[in-house]
Amino acid sequence: MKKTIIINGTFVTGRTEENVLEGCMVIEGNRLTYIGKEIPEPLENYDEIIRGERKLYMPGLVNTHGHAAMTLLRGYGDDLALQVWLEEKMWPMEAKFGPAGVRSGTLLAILEMIKGGTTTFVDMYDHMNEVAQAVSVSGMRACLTRGVIGLCPEDIQEFKLKEAIAFAKDWNGAAGGRITTMMAPHAPYTCPPDYIERFVQAAHDLDLPIHTHMSETKREVEANVEQYGLRPVQHLEKLGVFTRPTLVAHGVHLTDEEIAILAKYNVGVSHNPGSNLKLASGVARVPEMLRAGIQVSLGTDGAASNNNLDMFEEMRLAALIHKGVSGDPLAVPAAEAFRMGTSMGASSIWLDDIGTLEAGMKADFIALDLDQPHLLPRTDYVSHIVYSASAHDVVDVYVDGQCIVRGRECLTLDEEKIKREFEDTFTRLTKG
């Protein structure tokens, strides 16, 4: 088994004790086996010695909600509210993607994400076999789900559910365990109650979690009350969704009672501040959710509502907007935003062996170039990561012990080919 040591690095570990340390880290196979101040064994015992001077090592970022192939719709349908954006802009264009479009859009998204320090992402979309194959070759880690919109005749509903089940079965644990799967009814406003119940049953049968959009806009909540007599949280509770481990995206419009229900069932919330601001959906009650003990992680959502996949930006937004809204500078401190982008992201998708740099954890980590004007002085590195850094500072990326980006170059994917094919796909979609 290959044994690598990084020496003379600066490490933000994400541990409660010794969160920042100057020292070294050892990687054996796909695991971290040592992190500390001293070099544990003579250097000749290692297969590879990496000099970490002027680099900041930290856990890889975990993007807990998105639709990768929507890179194809970046800059299309800007400045609209959710419902009109979905119905008039996104869905008509997505109907033309097909498997080739999804492959091309996803590969570009994966490139953008890994080069920007995201090592794990959640993806909910159609043509998911293409997404899983792209993840597999990229070396990234992902939690994938075939998102299903149930606003269609019964036979199509049936077909989509079967497809979602087959995908979830076929790919759970694939790519050496880097891929896990979930079941995903898209949202309470796009899936009738009896259809959601069938997803719950399937998730029970397959022992899988559930992922869904929930309470993203005020209009959606009002419509839910009008149609079903319940707010979305109570509605999903009644349908049994929370009897499965669940991750909901957005959770913007929640009452105290709903926050208590989510906490009771240990439902994770993927907070997507960039997307919520751009679609004018509102600002989620993140400080209240954190106080209630909810795992709040971060997501970019798709590139059409963000418009990039930079998780540093999401950490910064999460740390800033809640201060602005509450008037409390401690609403989401930098250290909390850092955890939301790393360890809480990992635990909210049930991956408890990534998200921190500790012996025994899987080797998913990134290095930032510290030798940059905006990252000086060498003071508070957590602050620099959250308030000053961006995707462009990432130089090296490791997933499962494999180096997939070195010196800003992706080693697993052909960047030029992916960009060329993406542009051809885009031309086909828009001119065809």
Ligand X SMILES: CSC[C@H]1O[C@@H](n2cnc3c(O)ncnc32)[C@H](O)[C@@H]1O
CB of 251 to Zn ion, least distance (A): 12
The reply to whether 126 sits near ligand X by the rule CB under 6 A is yes
From the list 53-61, 119-127, 350-358, 403-411, the region that binds ligand X by CB under 6 A is 119-127
Say whether residue 213 binds ligand X (CB under 6 A).
yes
Work out whether the CA dihedral 309, 312, 318, 324 comes out positive or negative: negative
Stretch that binds Zn ion, among 29-37, 78-86, 282-290, 295-303 (CB under 5 A): 295-303
Question: Contact with ligand X (CB under 6 A): which of 112, 123, 237, 301?
Answer: 301
Q: Does 220 bind Zn ion (CB under 5 A)?
A: no
**216, 258, 336, 400: which one contacts ligand X (CB under 6 A)?**
216
Q: Report how far residue 185's alpha carbon sits from residue 168's, in angstroms, rounded to the nearest whole number.
A: 13
Length of the chain measured in residues: 432
Q: x/- site string to ligand X, residues 260 to 279, per CB under 6 A? A: ---------------x----
* Residue 423: φ, ψ to 5°: -65, -35
Tokens of 236: 């999903």
13 binds, among ligand X, Zn ion, none (CB under 5 to 8 A by kind): none
- Whose CB is nearest to ligand X? 147
Distance CA 274, CA 91 (A): 21
> Which of Zn ion, ligand X, none does residue 159 bind to, with CB < 5 to 8 Å depending on kind?
none
Of the residues 302, 341, 345, 355, which one makes contact with ligand X according to CB under 6 A: 302
Two structure tokens written together for 366: 């990134």
Q: Is 301 in the site for Zn ion (CB under 5 A)?
A: yes
Instruction: Please report how close the Cβ of residue 125 comes to ligand X at its closest, in angstroms.
Output: 5
As measured in angstroms, the least distance from the Cβ of 197 to ligand X is 18
Kindly tell me which residue out of 55, 64, 74, 94 binds ligand X, with binding defined by CB under 6 A. Answer: 94
Which stretch, 23-31, 89-97, 109-117, 230-238, contacts ligand X (CB under 6 A)? 89-97
Q: What is the dihedral of CA 90, 93, 99, 104, to 10 degrees?
A: -80
Handedness of CA 262, 202, 192, 68 (dihedral sign): positive
At 352 the three-state DSSP class reads coil
Site stretch for ligand X (CB under 6 A), options 37-45, 199-207, 298-306, 323-331? 298-306
Q: Do the strands 3-12 and 20-28 form a parallel or antiparallel pair, or are they unpaired?
A: antiparallel
* The entry of ligand X, Zn ion, none that residue 126 binds, CB within 5 to 8 Å by partner kind: ligand X
Using DSSP, state whether 157 is helix, strand or coil: helix
Question: Using the rule CB under 6 A, is 290 a contact of ligand X?
Answer: no
For CA atoms 371, 375, 377, 380, give the dihedral sign.
negative
Instruction: Please state, in angstroms and as integers, the Cα–Cα distance from residue 103 to each residue in 40, 131, 351, following that order.
Output: 44, 6, 25
* Residues whose CB falls within 8 Å of the CB of residue 200, separated by 6 or more in sequence, listed in order: 210, 239, 240, 241, 243, 244
- Do residues 289 and 262 lie in contact, with contact meaning Cβ atoms separated by under 8 Å? yes
Binding-site residues for Zn(2+), in ranges, read 65, 67, 213, 301
Tell me whether residue 205 is exposed, middle or buried, using C-beta atoms within 10 angstroms of its C-beta: 0 to 12, 13 to 18, 19 or more.
Answer: exposed
- Which segment (15-23, 135-143, 300-308, 347-355) binds Zn ion by CB under 5 A? 300-308
In whole angstroms, give the CA distance from residue 251 to residue 258: 10
Site string for ligand X, 31-70 (x = CB under 6 A): ------------------------------------x---
Determine the Cα–Cα distance for residues 285 and 270; give it in Å rounded to an integer.
12
By CB under 6 A, the residues from 69 to 88 that bind ligand X are 82, 86
Among 32, 50, 149, 319, binds ligand X (CB under 6 A): 149
- The Cα–Cα gap between 31 and 47 comes to 15
The alpha-carbon radius of gyration of the chain (Å, integer) is 21
Give min distance, CB of 192 to Zn ion, in A: 20
Site of interaction with Zn ion (CB under 5 A): 301
Site of interaction with ligand X (CB under 6 A): 67, 82, 86, 90-91, 94, 124-126, 147, 149, 186-187, 213, 216, 275, 301-302, 305
